[in-house]
Structure 1
Amino acid sequence: MGKWTLWLLIALGLLVNHIAGPLLGQNVWSARTTTIGTVPPRLAKQERPMANICKFDTSGHKVSIVTVEPGVQLEVLDWGGIGETLVLLAGLGDNVHVFDEFAYQFNDRFHVIGITRRGFGRSSQPVYGYDIETRARDDIAVLDKMNIREAIFVGHSIAGTELNEIGAVYPDRVKKLVYLDALDLGAGGWAALPQPPPSPPDTAADLESVRRFAAANARFNGYRAPLAAICNSIRTGPSGRVVAAITPPEISRKIIAGLQEAQYDRIQAPALGIFNAITPDYRLPYYWYLDRATQEKFDRDIKPLAEWIAGAIQRFRTGVQNSRVIKLHDTNHYVFIVDEALVVREMRKFLLEK
């Protein structure tokens, strides 16, 4: 996620710059603009084993490529399970491999699948179709192709916009909705907020290999993404060095440009929101790597952001008639990774209720 996308995530309530707009945050986009240069032969020799690291995905899911319209195909993962279908949708910049470990918390009682939205991961990158109506229609088209009539939808971060649209426009396809720190960026004046500064740029050492890159992201962002999520977000050179992001930044810009206020009053399905309610004292791990002047800007900008998040949570609570809210305090935007046990407990309780 380019640095501007990091800001989106920050606004989402996580304040994390991972993954191209969730995805490997600013680090991935820095990789696109960093001068790579020539890797010394000694270093290249050391890195060769790393070049194959992204060829192995141990999650055990089945991978399908589903055509949702002529020329547009989406990557769909199936973690198996028997019961009602549970659909996982990732945040901006992420691909659905970000749930590679989390998915196994539910496939004892549900059939768990995940969809990588157009523009990201192995899904197609058409020049069009990043508006909310099309993205929601893509998700429904996947269900149609799989002969799934009704499903539970679980969305992280900006996937909440897809949940809002699906819940409002396709109510007969929705069993329940779960929002994982997925606030309504189209309302409450978010676009006008000053945004806290992003993390420091990647160093040459951070880009030497996928594992170094993953470590830098974990160090600055406070959570470790599944390796397959990172591998499906970046391109590497022959030595294994990170050289580019798979998704160009204009795709995320198109998604953000099309944000709309949620039609909460049209959502009929039971909904659970698990949100990161930050305070003005909230600090991301990378804060401590910033110079003093940049830290002071962060300190100033975090206050109005905390107020906006509080208001967004309240809008969800009062706007979605059949909703339940769990507020976590000063944790991480990737609540399903950092606070996995708590999130799983609350989700299973909600989803298994009749």
Structure 2
Amino acid sequence: MISADAASAAPQMPARCLDTTPHMETMVAVGPGVQLQVLDWGGKGKPDTMVLLTGLGDNAHIFDEFAFQFTDYFHVIGITRRGYLPSSQPDDGYDVATRALDDMKVLDALGIGRAVFVGHSIAASELSRIATAYKDRVEKLVYLDAFDLAERFKLPEVPGPPFIDADLNSLETFQAARARLLAVRGPDPSICLHVKFDPSGKILDSTTPDWVGEKVLDGVKAPANPAVNWADIAAPRLGIFGLFSTETRQSYYWYLSAAEKKTFDQNFKGIVEWQRAEIDRFRISNPKNPEPVVIELPPGTTHYIFLNNEAFVVRTMRQFLLGTVGN
């Protein structure tokens, strides 16, 4: 069921937006006037639950295909965090502690005790908070190109991907531009909830106000969210990271202007060094706890590793979670 907010924000949708993925959709109340979308892709075999948490700007539909890699062993659900349709867009609650508590309230509402938590990108902050504040709810943790970002925003930024007006002519052109510039194609329903269309199918705007992303980012910035003490995390954890390099840069670099490339080259070096330091910090563990597993994908690997490196990521996760590749 699509929320009233989502329906009003995106009244016109192309036929490709129709969501035909087998799943159940529930809106779970986590606070006064705040509901979160939960997708349930089902599952067989062991009764364990896997919870999929999204990166910045995504909704749970980003996992519509990936989720079925694990339904033979897990009951798999995904949560769309507050601020992103069809979840509610309240004025506040975007700090890490509240977002992690939201996730716990979802589990409580669904009668789920312990779970495996898998997070992409900015979901790292929620994973680490859950692991330290709600230790008894965590079986294992998987960080999919997901970093502690507390120090990241002290660094100068690089120019972003140069989308142009023609990229917004249709869902097809927008997906093509994302593939060209970001090297990713997410499931169509995940994109359709994120944008507004006119009757001709042209993309007009985002359904997410700019202040939502700003507040989520503010929630992970130091000193509001101090850097994670990885030694405090007792649960077994796997980190799969796509390495940055000053040679491979980013997929969209080649479409930047000469001036933008110069700025990118000046600033990206610091981001590469930051990433290396964060991966090294991720390896820190308490001798009483399991040693973290770290997998580094080669430079040039794109951020959506669970989509673009699906076979390898799934195999690695199954070995970590199950002790075997399985079927």
| 2: CA distance, partners of 1:86 / 1:201 | 35
Out of 6, 15, 26, which is 1:52 matched to? 15
Q: Which runs of 5+ in 2 are unaligned?
A: 1-11
Q: Which runs of 5+ in 1 are unaligned?
A: 1-47
Partner of 2:28: 66
- 8 Å Cα contact 2:231-2:284 kept in structure 1: no
Out of 71, 77, 80, which is 1:116 matched to? 80
| 2: CA distance, partners of 1:344 / 1:243 | 36
| 2: CA distance, partners of 1:208 / 1:191 | 33
Amino acid paired to 1:255: V
Partner of 1:106: 70
Quote the RMSD (CA, aligned, Å).
Answer: 1.5
Partner of 2:293: 324
- 8 Å Cα contact 1:73-1:124 kept in structure 2: yes
Per the TM alignment, residue 319 of structure 1 is displaced from its structure 2 partner at its CA by 4.4
What does 1:269-348 correspond to in 2, within 5 Å?
Answer: 269-319=235-285, 321-322=289-290, 323-330=292-299, 331-348=301-318
Partner of 1:196: 158
**SS of match in other structure, 2:252:** helix
| 1: CA distance, partners of 2:182 / 2:246 | 18
Partner of 1:181: 145
| 1: CA distance, partners of 2:106 / 2:285 | 28
| 1: CA distance, partners of 2:26 / 2:316 | 30
- 8 Å Cα contact 1:51-1:241 kept in structure 2: no
| 2: CA distance, partners of 1:297 / 1:326 | 30
Q: Deviations over 1:81-112 (max 9, x none)?
A: 03210000000111111111110110011100
- 8 Å Cα contact 1:168-1:264 kept in structure 2: no
| 1:92 paired to 2:56 | yes
| 1: CA distance, partners of 2:229 / 2:162 | 37
Q: Deviations over 1:195-246 (max 9, x none)?
A: 221121322x221111111111111111111111101111111221111111
| 1: CA distance, partners of 2:104 / 2:229 | 18
Amino acid paired to 2:316: E
Runs of 4+ in 1 over 6 A off after TM superposition: none
**SS of match in other structure, 2:157:** coil
**SS of match in other structure, 2:283:** helix
| 2: CA distance, partners of 1:221 / 1:119 | 23
| 2: CA distance, partners of 1:201 / 1:218 | 12
| 2: CA distance, partners of 1:295 / 1:346 | 35
Q: Deviations over 1:103-148 (max 9, x none)?
A: 0110011100000000002000000110111100000000000100
Amino acid paired to 1:290: L
| 2: CA distance, partners of 1:199 / 1:126 | 29
| 1:247 paired to 2:208 | yes
| 1: CA distance, partners of 2:266 / 2:190 | 33
Amino acid paired to 1:329: P
Q: Deviations over 1:256-295 (max 9, x none)?
A: 1121122323211100000112122122222111122221
**SS of match in other structure, 1:343:** helix
**SS of match in other structure, 1:258:** helix
| 1: CA distance, partners of 2:70 / 2:184 | 21
- 8 Å Cα contact 1:282-1:302 kept in structure 2: no
| 2: CA distance, partners of 1:113 / 1:234 | 23
Per the TM alignment, residue 191 of structure 1 is displaced from its structure 2 partner at its CA by 1.8
| 2: CA distance, partners of 1:319 / 1:185 | 19
**SS of match in other structure, 1:94:** coil
- 8 Å Cα contact 1:218-1:225 kept in structure 2: no
| 1: CA distance, partners of 2:152 / 2:36 | 30
Partner of 1:132: 96
The count of aligned residue pairs is 302
Out of 190, 197, 220, which is 1:229 matched to? 190
**SS of match in other structure, 1:67:** strand
Q: Percent identity?
A: 50
Amino acid paired to 1:351: L
Out of 108, 120, 128, which is 1:144 matched to? 108
Q: Deviations over 1:290-343 (max 9, x none)?
A: 122221222222211111000000001114753110011220111111111110
**SS of match in other structure, 2:246:** coil
Q: Which 10-residue stretch deviates more, 334-343 or 282-291?
A: 282-291
| 1: CA distance, partners of 2:229 / 2:133 | 9
